A and B are shown apart, each in its own frame.
Chain A
Amino acid sequence: MSMSPGRRKLVLAAHIMVSVGWLGAVAAYLGLAVAAVVTPDAETVRAAWIAMELTGWFVIVPLALASLLTGLVNAVGTPWGLFRHYWVLFKLLLTVFATAILLQHMPTVSAIARVVTETESAHLLPAGVRSDLVHAGGALLVLLVTAILAVYKPQGLTRYGWRKQHEQRTLSQP
Chain B
Amino acid sequence: MADPPPYPGAPRWVKVSGIAVGGMILLAVILMIAGVGGPHGPGRHMTGTDTPGDRAPPGGGHR
Contact = CB atoms under 8 A, between A and B. Distances in A.
B40 A108 contact: yes
Contacts of B46: 111, 115
A140 B53 CA distance: 27
A57 B58 contact: yes
A112 B54 CA distance: 11
Nearest to B63: A117
A111 B52 contact: yes
A107 B42 contact: yes
Nearest to A109: B42
A73 to B, nearest CB: 25
B37 A128 contact: yes
A128 B4 CA distance: 55
B45 A129 contact: yes
A59 to B, nearest CB: 12
Contact of B55 (A107, A128, A156): A107
A108 B45 CA distance: 8
A110 B5 contact: no
Contacts of B40: 108
A167 B37 CA distance: 50
B45 A110 contact: no
Interface stretch (A13-21, A27-35, A63-71, A158-166): A158-166
Contacts of A170: 1-2
22 contacts: A57-B57, A86-B14, A90-B14, A108-B40, A108-B41, A110-B54, A110-B55, A110-B57, A111-B43, A112-B45, A114-B55, A115-B45, A115-B46, A115-B50, A128-B37, A128-B38, A134-B37, A156-B10, A162-B8, A167-B1, A170-B1, A170-B2
Interface of A: 50, 53-54, 57-58, 86, 90, 107-108, 110-115, 117-118, 128-129, 134, 154-156, 158-159, 162-163, 166-167, 170
